[in-house]
Amino acid sequence: MSSRLSRFWLRISDGIALQQLWSQLHGEARASYRLYSNDLDLTRGEGEKRARLTKRVASELFWAMVSKLSPARRVVFVLSLILLVFPGFDFRFQQRELHIPNLAFFGALILVVLLALELADRVTLKRDLEIAKEIQTWLMPASPPSVPGTDMAFATRPANTVAGDYYDAFLRTSSDGTIRPEAALLVVMADVAGKSVPAALLMATLQASLRTLSNVSTDVTELIVLWNRYCCEQNVGGQRFTTAFLAELNPVTREMNYVNAGHNYPVLRRASGQIERLQTGGVPLGLLRNAPYQCGKVTLGLGDILLIFTDGLVEAENAKEEEYGEQRMLATLNNASGTAATAILRSLMLSADQFVGSTPQHDDITCLVLRTVSYSGQTQQ
Tens-place pLDDT, residues 317-376? 888 888 999 999 999 999 988 899 999 999 999 999 999 887 777 788 899 999 998 865
CA distance 137 to 158: 11
Q: Provide the pairing of β-strand 281-282 with 255-261.
A: parallel
Q: Please state, for a pLDDT cut of 70, what percent of the chain lies above it.
A: 79
Taking alpha carbons only, the member of 365, 220, 363, 248 closest to residue 306 is: 248
Under 8 Å between Cβ of 296 and 247: no
Cα of 20 vs its chain's centroid, Å: 23
Q: Taking the domain 140-372, which CATH number applies?
A: 3.60.40.10
Domain layout of the chain by residue ranges: 1-37, 140-372
The average pLDDT across 230-236 equals: 78
* Continuous H helices in the chain: 2-13, 18-37, 50-66, 71-85, 104-139, 196-216, 220-234, 311-314, 325-335, 341-356
Taking alpha carbons only, the member of 282, 132, 279, 269 closest to residue 196 is: 132
Confidence label for 163 from pLDDT (cuts 50, 70 and 90)? low
Under 8 Å between Cβ of 279 and 245: no
Which SS3 state, helix, strand or coil, does residue 364 take? Answer: coil
- Give the CA angle between residues 312, 308, 259 to the nearest 5°: 115
Taking alpha carbons only, the member of 272, 284, 161 closest to residue 232 is: 284
Q: What is the pLDDT of residue 19?
A: 74
Angle between helices 50-66 and 18-37 (to 10 degrees): 100
The average pLDDT across 209-233 equals: 85
Taking alpha carbons only, the member of 337, 312, 335, 334 closest to residue 325 is: 312
What average pLDDT does the chain have? 81
CA distance 360 to 262: 26
Amino acid present at 248: E
Q: What is the pLDDT of residue 377?
A: 45
Cα 192 to Cα 114, 183, 199, 203, distances in angstroms:
35, 28, 6, 7
Kindly tell me if the per-residue pLDDT of 92 is higher than 70: no
Kindly tell me if the per-residue pLDDT of 209 is higher than 90: no
Amino acid present at 239: Q
Confidence label for 133 from pLDDT (cuts 50, 70 and 90)? low
Taking alpha carbons only, the member of 136, 115, 55, 110 closest to residue 364 is: 136
DSSP secondary structure string for all residues of 100-145? E---HHHHHHHHHHHHHHHHHHHHHHHHHHHHHHHHHHHHS-SS--
Q: What is the pLDDT of residue 83?
A: 81
Taking alpha carbons only, the member of 29, 54, 28, 30 closest to residue 42 is: 54
Confidence label for 203 from pLDDT (cuts 50, 70 and 90)? confident
Q: What is the pLDDT of residue 281?
A: 94
The three-state (H, E, C) secondary structure of 74-86, written as one string = HHHHHHHHHHHHC
Q: Provide the pairing of β-strand 281-282 with 296-299.
A: unpaired
Under 8 Å between Cβ of 275 and 267: yes
Q: Is 233 exposed, middle or buried (0-12, 13-18, 19+ CB in 10 A)?
A: exposed
CB atoms within 10 A of CB 89: 10
Amino acid present at 92: R
